[in-house]
A and B are shown apart, each in its own frame.
Chain A
Amino acid sequence: MNKLALHEPQRQAPLGVAIMFFQNLRRAINFVLAVLVVNLGNDFEILGMGFKGWGIILSIFFLIYSFLQYRKFYFYVSGDNFVIEKGVLRQDKINVPFARIQTVNTKQNIIQRALKLVGLKIDTAGSIAQEIQIPALSKTYAGELRSFLMQKRYEHQEENEEEVEEVDRTEEHKEPLLKLSVGDLFKVGFTQNHLRSGLLLFAIVNGYIWQFEDYLIKPFEPYLEETAKNLLTTWVLLLPFAIAVFIVLSVISSLVTTILRYYGFSFYLTKAGLEIESGLFNRNSYNVPFEKIQYFKWESNPLRRIIGYRTLKVKQAGNQAVNERKLIGIPGLKSRALLRVIQSQYPNRKGSTYTYFAPHRLMFIQRFIWLGLIPSLGFAAVFYFNQLDYLFYLPLPVFLLIIGFLTYRYWRSIVLRVNANFIEIRRGYVFPKRIVIPNYKLQNISQSQSFLQAFRGLRTLHLHTAAGSLRVSHLPKKAISELHDYLCYCIESSNEKWM
């Protein structure tokens, strides 16, 4: 406390002016980017001043504004609150009660790294809409402030709970459970879901291109039309080429995103929770207190299975949109490390015998009809009406066989198992996933039945947690009603805090 001197308002590190300046600049550039691109090369004139003149004036204005922003940004402790005051034109005062603090994370983007500064971000329980961030602190100060805040948070939360556990919260120096070397990074990158990253890249590129469609494509239009005609005749030749380009681009994009996100990734298991640090340009560190974790999910894909890597996802409480942002993935875990994490969290996971449930074959039939039969009938109809050669029909049985095989394996892969403390769901053949939820983390339970299920006495179980809903369909009615009552009993009789 003495070192932090939080009893009186503190400013950020002096270089914070630069951080604020770049923040403002980035916002401004985003704003005028379209105008700049369109007018690229040709100067313009407003009120007798050109590109350079306006640029200088705006820069000076931003510099002054950033300086004021820096001067007006304070943080201090008042009573049981951490307070941030900021704003030049409109003064904002953000009060964060210590007890409401969930986690304190540090962030570093490329500018902050260059200036050796760290941004501190405070996550709170409940919906304080504003983002609570202190963008520019010196590294040591940020570390101290963070441990100070976390310390306060524990003190206040323990005051509220009667049984104060004597846990040693002092800095234990910890061995990372997982550290990704550059080699690991390449392995993780090469085994990403390339199709997804390819499509993502395509979507991004597509989104940007159409913004500037008029300027980029219009001039070439007559030329394009002509080539399009030629292309149509040679599409058979070009298709494999296009596919190859797509694959190469996808792999490169997966590699780049992996390296950007996971460079220097280290993952720690501490007494209070999980800690993760990663990122090449934007260096982020997260920590997740144990009680905030709603459930664990781990998944793999065909490429990763070869090298035995799995991705662990830690699902935290929060609404879906926030969740996507906060979702923490830990790639490249070997099964032993994975088991160690799960074991440390849920020591009695194998405490009692599991009862297993598997879906009825109606699920296979329905999926096969929707994914296999209906599309192939559609194609057959199209071929028929276009009076195409019978050769076109040949791939259809092959397609049906593949879909049949995949849906069969998918259906067989789904297993729900329940014991006295945990629910585990396993599903997926190509992309196997597993989910472990402690029973008391459930929020509420539903069951549903469509008329098709009603004929066979089947139902679907929906499990709602604070980190999203899960469902298992086509289980026998009797099993569902037992599970429903049992899980309700588990929730109602548990005194453990779900958050």
Chain B
Amino acid sequence: MLLQNLNVDVEELPRLEERDFTLLERDYLYYRITGKVLFLLALSGIGASISLFGKLYFGYWLYPILGLLALILLLELVGFKHRGYSIRDKDVSFRSGWLFHRMTTVPLNRVQHCEFNQGILGRLFDLATVKVFTAGGTSSDLDIRGLRKKDAIKVRDYITKLSALYE
């Protein structure tokens, strides 16, 4: 206990803990990996066409890309455990990242609006993102990624409903 002399005891506050966080759908991991692999494939496509029609040794692009692939797989597999979201009575939190970890909490009485969206790749995996906007600027807005579409709609409706209470 470091904080002292407040009008409330910190130990009595609802602490945001490890167990509060729900892991994301497993499909979200595959979704991320697919996205990155597609990008690497595009890069190798460029490399391959230069090698076929011009003069470029295959190894010069193949090995770096394979290395990158291994790195991405490692980061994504380990990093997945560190992603998660938590929805409590009065706030929503999202966390992500292994090497660079970040966790954001948005109290529901500061939510400006809340929206749901789904990209092309997301439709393939049936995944969607819920975006929560506050007046705190774009760097602080919260995106809950990797939810099933029906869950995402539920989450959005829940946040919208609760945050409307504070208007």
A contact residues vs B (CB 8 Å cutoff)? 317, 319-320, 352-353, 355, 357, 418-420, 442-451, 454, 462, 464-466, 468-469, 478-479, 481-486, 488-489, 491-492, 498-499
Interfacial chain B residues near A499, Cβ < 8 Å: 135
> When the two chains form the complex, which single residue of A420, A449, A451 contacts B5, counting CB atoms closer than 8 Å?
A420
B117 to chain A, nearest CB (A): 20
Chain A neighbourhood of B139, CB < 8 A: 464, 469
Q: A352-B7, A355-B4, A466-B137 are in contact. List 18 more A-B contacts (CB 8 A).
A: A355-B2, A420-B7, A443-B135, A443-B136, A447-B103, A449-B102, A464-B134, A478-B2, A481-B16, A482-B10, A485-B13, A486-B6, A486-B10, A489-B8, A492-B91, A492-B107, A492-B108, A498-B110
State the main secondary structure of chain A at its contact with B.
mixed
Would A468 and B16 be within 8 Å (CB), given that A355-B4, A447-B103 are in contact? no
Q: Bound complex: CA of A446 vs CA of B132, how far in Å?
A: 14
CB-CB under 8 A for A419 and B135, given A443-B140, A485-B13: no
Q: What 0/1 readout, one digit per residue, does chain B (85-118) give for beta carbons within 8 Å of chain A?
A: 0000011000001011111111111100000000
Q: Are A464 and B91 in contact (CB under 8 A)?
A: no
Contact A444 B13, beta carbon cutoff 8 Å: no
Question: Given B3, B5, B13, B104, which contacts A446 in the complex, CB threshold below 8 Å?
Answer: B104
Contact A488–B100 (Cβ < 8 Å): no
List 15 A-B residue pairs with CB atoms under 8 Å apart, sorted by A's residue number. Answer: A352-B6, A355-B4, A420-B7, A442-B136, A443-B106, A443-B134, A443-B136, A444-B105, A444-B140, A449-B102, A464-B140, A466-B135, A466-B137, A482-B2, A489-B8
The smallest C-beta distance from A93 to any residue of chain B, in angstroms, reads: 27
Which of B91, B100, B135 has the most chain A CB atoms inside 10 A of its CB? B135
Given contacts A464-B136, A498-B110, are A355 and B101 in contact (CB under 8 A)? Answer: no
Known: A450-B99, A482-B3, A483-B3. A488 touches B135 (CB 8 A): no
Any A CB within 8 A of the CB of B1: yes
**With A and B bound together, what is the CA distance between A491 and B110 in angstroms?**
8
In the complex the two chains form, is B107's CB within 8 Å of A448's CB? no
Give the residue among B6, B15, B109 with the most A Cβ atoms within 10 A: B6
Q: A317 to B99, alpha carbons, bound, how many Å?
A: 33
Tell yes or no: B14 within 8 A of A by CB.
yes
Q: Which residues of B contact A418 (CB under 8 A)?
A: 3
CA of A357 to CA of B2, assembled, Å: 9
Q: Which residues 122-144 of B have a CB within 8 angstroms of A?
A: 134-137, 139-140, 142
**A484/B16 in contact, CB under 8 A:** yes
* Max chain B Cβ within 10 angstroms of own Cβ: one of A353, A446, A478, A491: A446
| Cα separation A420 to B5 with both chains bound (whole Å) | 8
List residues of chain B with CB within 8 A of the CB of A464: 134, 136-137, 139-140
Q: Which residues of chain A are within 8 angstroms of B137 by Cβ–Cβ distance?
A: 319-320, 464, 466, 468-469
Given contact pairs A443-B135, A449-B100, A464-B137, A489 touches B14 in the complex (Cβ within 8 A): yes
CB-contact partner of A419 in B5, B13, B14, B109, under 8 A: B5
Q: What are the residues of chain B within 8 A of A468 when measuring CB–CB? A: 137
Q: What is the bound-complex CA distance between A320 and B135, given in angstroms? A: 11
Residues of A within 8 A of B16 (CB): 481, 484-485, 488
Which residues of A lie under 8 Å from residue B108 when comparing CB positions? 492
Q: Which residue of A lies closest to B141 (CB)?
A: A444
CA distance A465 to B5 in the complex (A): 24
Residues of A within 8 A of B5 (CB): 352-353, 355, 419-420
A317 touches B135 (CB 8 A): yes
Q: Please name all residues of chain A whose beta carbon is closer than 8 Å to the beta carbon of B100 when the two chains form the complex.
A: 448-451
**With a CB–CB cut-off of 8 A, which chain B residues contact A444?**
104-107, 110, 134, 136, 140, 142
> Could you say which residues of chain A place their CB within 8 Å of the CB of B1?
482
Q: Is the CB of A469 within 8 A of B136?
A: yes
Tell which of A448, A482, A489, A491 touches B102, judged by Cβ atoms closer than 8 Å: A448
Is the CB–CB distance between A420 and B6 below 8 Å? yes
Q: Which among B14, B99, B110 is the interface contact of A443 at CB below 8 angstroms?
A: B110
Give Cα distance in the complex from A481 to B90, angstroms: 17
B:1-50 near A, CB below 8 Å? 1-8, 10, 13-16
Least CB distance, A459 to chain B, in whole angstroms: 8
Q: Complex formed: what's the CA distance from A418 to B100 in Å?
A: 26
Set A447, A451, A469, A486: member contacting B13, Cβ < 8 A: A486
How distant is the Cα of A451 from the Cα of B99 in the complex, in angstroms?
Answer: 5
CA gap between A69 and B126 in the complex, in Å:
56
The residue among B5, B7, B91, B103 with the most chain A CB atoms within 10 A of its own CB is: B103
Known: A355-B3, A420-B5, A486-B3. A491 touches B107 (CB 8 A): yes
* CB proximity of B27 to chain A, nearest CB, Å: 26
Minimum CB distance partner of A353 in chain B = B5
Q: Distance (Å) between the CB of B32 and the closest chain A CB?
A: 20
CB-defined contacts of B15 to chain A, threshold 8 Å:
481, 485
CB distance from B13 to the nearest CB of A (A): 5
Whether the Cβ atoms of B136 and A466 lie closer than 8 Å is: yes
Q: In whole angstroms, what is the CA distance A454 to B97 when docked? A: 12
Complex Cα distance A289/B7, Å? Answer: 29
Give the interface centre of B2, B5, B7 by most chain A CB atoms within 10 Å: B2
Assembly CA distance A484 to B114 (angstroms):
22
Smallest CB gap from B101: residue in A = A449
Q: Write out the residue numbers on chain A whose beta carbons fall within 8 Å of the beta carbon of B4.
A: 353, 355
Residues in A whose Cβ lies below 8 Å from that of B135? 317, 443, 466, 498-499
* Contact between B6 and A446, CB atoms less than 8 A apart: no
A86 to B85: give the CA distance in the assembly, Å: 50
A420 to chain B, nearest CB (A): 5
Residues from chain B with Cβ under 8 Å of A454 in the complex: 101
Contact indicator A465/B136 (Cβ below 8 Å): yes
Q: Which residue of B lies closest to A476 (CB)?
A: B2
Residue numbers in B under 8 Å from A447 (CB-CB): 102-103
Instruction: Kindly list chain A residues whose C-beta atoms are within 8 Å of the C-beta of B97.
Output: 448
Q: Judge whether B134 and A488 touch: CB under 8 Å.
A: no
